[in-house]
A and B are shown apart, each in its own frame.
Chain A
C-alpha cells in the first residue's frame, strides 16, 4: 500500500492523503492522470475489485468530486481515488475497458450528475429516468422539494407535522419548555 501511495505521489503528483482506517486510504489525483493512476493500482498493486464509483457535488466550490473505490482482495486493503473536475466541464475518461461493471456506474453518473464519459457503452441511453428533460437530479442545485410540489399534489384530508419541530418536542421536551 505504501509503495503505491509513494508511486502515486511521485508519478502523478497525488495529494490530500487521508488515512481513514488501517485498511482504507483516500488520495486525490489530477484529472488527466486518473486512468493511469487507476491502471497502476489495478495492474501493479492488485486493486482489482471496483467497489463503486460515485460523484459528490460541491456546488459552492464549483466542482464535482468523483471517487473510485478499489479493493485488493489479497492484502484486504481499500483505496479511494478522488478526482476533482469543474462543474462547467464535467468530462472524465471512461474506465469501462478495465471493468465491465464500470459502464453501468458511468451510465448512472451521466444521468444523475451529468458527468460525461466519452466512449462508454450505452452512455447516452436512459438508465433509471426515462424521458427526463430537467437538469440531472442528483446535482445540488436541483430542488427535489420544488419538483415534487410541482409534479405531484397532496392528497386531501391529510395533516402533517414539521418533522424537526415534532422531533424536538418528542426528544427534548425539557429544552422546549426552557425556550
Chain B
C-alpha cells in the first residue's frame, strides 16, 4: 500500500492529486481493457503507474452503449419489457421488476398476490445466481480458477430452475407489467430445495478454500478501503456500503414486494476492504438461500399469476412520473419513468449502482494500489458496465 514518505512517489498538488509529468519518463501510461478481468462486460481503465503502483486512474466506458433508454421511448409499454432485461446480463430480473412495477404504478394496476410472491422468489433466485458468478470472478481475479468452476456449475443449477420457470437461462423476460408470465411448474418447489441444498454444501467448501486462503487474505485485506463517510458523497449502496458497517438495504429500508413478511437482517461487515466485501457477499448469498426457503413455504398454491390487462397494444398510461427501486446484488437499482399520457413512455432512466461505484469511487480507490491488484479491486466493487452506459 501507498505510504506518503516513500521517496519515489511524486509530489502532491494542492487538490490532493499527484504531480504527474509524463514527459519526465518516470511514469508509464497503460490501458487495462476493454476486456478487463475485473468486470463482467467491457470497460477500460487508463492507468498512470510508477513502478508497479497506480498514480492515477481514469475510467472509460462506452463500449457497450446500445441506447436502451432511447429504444424504450420508441416502443409501447408492453414492448419495453423484453428489452430492459438486457441492461444487466447476470441478473436481468431486477430490470424486469423495476420496469413492470413502474408501469403498474403509473397505470394504477394491482397485481395478484401469487404474482407478488413469485416475483420475490425470482428476484432472490437472480441474486443467488449473480453472487455465485461473482464469487468465481473474485477468486479468479486473484488466480484461483477452481472456485470459479465450482460456483459456476452451481449457478448453472440455478439457471436450470430459471429455464423450467421461464424457458430462458440468461434472459428470462418473466416479470411483465401485470404479473408474471407463467405459473410455477409441477414439482418446482422440491427441485428448488434440492438445488439450494447443493449450493449450501459447496459453499462450505468455498468458504474453506477462499476465505481461509493465505494468498487471498494477504492480497485483499486492506485493499480498497471505503470510509463510511464517503457513502453519501459517492452514492455508495448495497454490499459496498454494508461492508463499511452501514446497513443500507432497500429490502429493509423501503420494503417492496413481500420483503416485509420475510425474516432477515442485512449482513454488515466492519473493515470495509475487499476481503470484507467478499465476506458480506458470501453471507448475503447464504441469506438469500434462506429467503428462498421462506418464500417457498409461504407462496400460495392457488390464485392468478397475472392481472387482467387492457388491450396492451393500445394501452395509454396516464400522465405522471415515478421512481421504483429494488435491491440488486450491487446496491440500489432504480427506474425513473415519465409518462406523457400517450402509448409510449416519454422517458425511462435507469439508475444502476455501478454508475457511482465504477467511475468516481473506482478512480479514487485505485490510487496507490499495486497494478496486479486492480482487477481484484474492480471485482470487489462489483461492476456491470451495461448499466453505466445503458
Q: Any chain B CB within 8 A of the CB of A4?
A: no
Chain A residues contacting B334 (CB-CB under 8 Å) are 51-52, 69
> Residue-by-residue, is A51-74 near B (CB-CB < 8 Å gives 1, otherwise 0)?
110111110000001010100010
- What is the CB-to-nearest-CB distance from B177 to chain A, in angstroms, rounded to a whole number? 13
Q: Are B253 and A76 in contact (CB under 8 A)?
A: yes
Q: Any chain A CB within 8 A of the CB of B16?
A: no
Chain B residues contacting A40 (CB-CB under 8 Å) are none
Q: A26-B321, A80-B323 are in contact. Are A104 and B70 (CB under 8 A)?
A: no
- What is the CB-to-nearest-CB distance from B318 to chain A, in angstroms, rounded to a whole number? 12
- What is the CB-to-nearest-CB distance from A83 to chain B, in angstroms, rounded to a whole number? 14
Chain B residues contacting A32 (CB-CB under 8 Å) are none
> Residue-by-residue, is A21-48 near B (CB-CB < 8 Å gives 1, otherwise 0)?
1011010000000000000000000001
Taking CB atoms and an 8 Å cut-off, the chain B residues in 300-322 that contact chain A are 311-313, 320-322
Query: How many residue-residue contacts, CB under 8 A, span A and B?
Result: 102
Q: Of the 9-residue stretches B60-68, B130-138, B259-267, which lies at the interface with chain A?
A: B60-68
Closest to A129 in B: B62
**Cα(A48)–Cα(B62), bound, Å:** 29
Q: Any chain A CB within 8 A of the CB of B219?
A: no
Q: Any chain B CB within 8 A of the CB of A12?
A: no
Q: Of the 9-residue stretches A85-93, A151-159, A166-174, which lies at the interface with chain B?
A: A166-174
Chain B residues contacting A138 (CB-CB under 8 Å) are 69-70
For the complex, count residues of A whose C-beta is within 8 A of B: 46
> Residue-by-residue, is A117-158 near B (CB-CB < 8 Å gives 1, otherwise 0)?
000000000111110000001101000110000000000000
Q: A73-B253, A127-B61 are in contact. Are A52 and B336 (CB under 8 A)?
A: yes
What are 12 inter-chain pairs, A to B, with CB distance below 8 A?
Answer: A20-B323, A52-B336, A67-B321, A80-B321, A99-B234, A101-B359, A104-B355, A128-B65, A129-B62, A137-B70, A140-B73, A175-B311
Residues of B within 8 A of A (CB): 61-62, 65, 67, 69-71, 73-76, 78-79, 105, 232-235, 248, 253-254, 311-313, 320-323, 325, 332, 334, 336, 338, 340, 346-347, 349, 351, 355-356, 359-360, 389
Residues of A within 8 A of B (CB): 18, 20-21, 23-24, 26, 48-52, 54-58, 65, 67, 69, 73, 76, 78, 80, 99-101, 103-105, 126-130, 137-138, 140, 144-145, 163-164, 167-168, 171-172, 175
